[in-house]
Amino acid sequence: MQYTQLGRSGLKVSRLCLGTMNFGPQTEEADARSIMDSALGAGINFFDTANVYGGTGHRGRTEEILGRWFATGGQRRERTVLATKLYGTMTDRPNESRLSALNIRRALDASLKRLQTDYIDLYQFHHVDRSTPWDEIWQAIDVAVQQGKILYSGSSNFAGWHIAQAQEAAARRHSYGLVSEQSIYNLLTRDVELEVIPAVQHYGLGLLPWSPLQGGLLGGVLKAGHDGARRTEGRSLETLRNHQDQLRQFEEFTRELGQDPGDVALAWLLHQPAVTAPVVGPRTQDQLDAALRATDLTLDSRTLRRLDEIFPGHRTAPEDYAW
């Protein structure tokens, strides 16, 4: 496993991040523990979760699963760079969501209790809060850092101008600011190349792409049939219909390469200069093994050009709008 620094920070993380959203709702706890042990054994030291993960009626369950795993010993917590998130609604009480100073304090303490740890390495804002001023957010984060409860902060699902707002407000306060942004990014969904990636690179943030296989659509869905996709209803089914020709070209090209489509799609992300670590969310050990294969796959310039031809991106960003 290769390691890199998370943005401009001194923190070293693996080139894959283990996403845990499926632990609880899709993956039983015993299987989740086995996957986490395998990930650590393979050199993945970067784990991502969120306070809302766990399924309908049991938000927080995924953090609890991680906490019980840490409690089994073996220096599991010490070997893990732990990332979690806040923003989503945890109860029906009015101050149990978003990024107010009150919710940051309460949500952080609740996550620490569920995770059975005394600090979180990377505390992420799951969404931008349009109603809370950045001075309030950074004051609460600075207090948490001073208390030793968190080390770094990151964002998720932010626009480029949200990142700029956050970083400029932090600079005015002499706060450290964000060190990472977690966005949807894959061959099919490349909107972040317009302004998010330029902002990330300008401000020294690491990019953590979620849904690197677009919910399974880049994992060979046409060959496998509709059952090969994680979700073939709603937006995923619509995406499949709208991009069927591109996906067919992609799968044919990966066959020419002699590689699995999912391996190529994940390897492509690892070749993007702004990307620190794609967030892979395996439901099974086989899916984790597939993700690990991609870290050893090198794509040459001809392959990268062909992938850009099939899935055009925004190579002139952030001047994409200019004439």
To the query of whether residue 87 is one of the catalytic residues in this protein, the response is: no
Determine the Cα–Cα distance for residues 194 and 178; give it in Å rounded to an integer: 20
- The CB density around residue 103, as the number of other CB atoms within 10 Å, is 23
Which one from 3, 53, 123, 185 is the annotated catalytic residue?
53
Cα-based torsion angle of the residue sequence 219, 225, 227, 232 in order, rounded to the nearest 10 degrees: 80
Residue 46's beta-bridge partner residues? 17, 81
Query: C-alpha 56: how far from its chain's center?
Result: 21
Return the amino acid letter for 194. Answer: L
Sign for the pseudo-dihedral over CA of 290, 292, 296, 300 = positive
Encoded tokens for 269? 């992300």
Residues 165, 199: contact at Cβ < 8 Å?
no
Burial of 308 (0-12, 13-18, 19+ CB in 10 A): middle
The 279-280 sheet, strands edge to edge = 206-210, 178-184, 150-156, 120-125, 81-86, 46-48, 17-19, 279-280
Strands 12-14 vs 279-280: parallel, antiparallel or unpaired: unpaired
Strands 178-184 vs 206-210: parallel, antiparallel or unpaired: parallel
- The CB density around residue 320, as the number of other CB atoms within 10 Å, is 13
Burial of 143 (0-12, 13-18, 19+ CB in 10 A): middle
Strands (E), 87-147: 120-125
- Annotated catalytic residues are 53
